Structure 1
């Protein structure tokens, strides 16, 4: 972070053989930002993944948030003023995203963007190596990913899928909707599903 005018950063795997997984966060604020977008299923990180282009929001308080209205309201409760999301891409391979944030409204300079892009490229190759290693080890989750993965969420998604007779995408949407309606995190909802204290019934 010393190379850039930011307050924190987070790295996540996306679009590979591994499920969406948080790799690391520089501080609790970065982790909360990453968790918020995962829970809501919307936000600049999803836009960066969809377009395969960086998404810069230099002033979160004045940004219209038309593409992610629910996230736009939720982010106002956090001590964050600017967000810069870089997709991790190697050719046609989508590896993940890097999310940088600042507690002050700011915009990255041309020099900052060049520096960030170089660091992001290095991160993309490092993560791709982890994914390839994971594939070579008969799909055993790499030790580096285990502590911060979302295995309970993936397990709960599978359980809800069976309970509702739906697809994995629909099951995850139901988990997110339940979390949103009850003011919980998706992780906590997943824990209840796995513990069988919460069961989703078919409509």
Structure 2
């Protein structure tokens, strides 16, 4: 988990027995004016797997956390580098079009967006074969989250990622994995699942 002030970005390990003591400083603001000070502001996890960080004063740039699942400074906070067409204080607000119907509302018009849990998860992986990364796309029922697991030829789990129903894709980086055939499994709330294969090759 990440938290920030205007001048610092911190990382917490939510699996630690003492979460407070797990805090790590992963970035301190590098002073820059574009045209105003680009101190840290709101954060947003994007579909490409990066966390984008807005600026306090409103500028033409964003910061981003390149590898948010990596521990400590290896998460790679890149500052003052994502340029925008216009000044903006925050990252975009993504509307949740999968809210489903509001029980008891007389003006609800979203009921047609709901899907039954028996419908296909429609999981796809591309490119396949892949080299350093691939993208998984999925279509979960309304407001449901799942998990993606990747296994090597010996059945050892090598990657596990959370899949959020508010998104429809996730970038998976495969740095450090050997070339070969891997099997993946997607679970939706522990009930539905989809399986498949992905081949990793050298670049």
TM-score under structure 2 normalisation? 0.28
The answer to which structure has the higher helix fraction is: 1
Tell me: higher relative CO, structure 1 or 2? Use CA pairs within 8 A at least 6 residues apart. 1
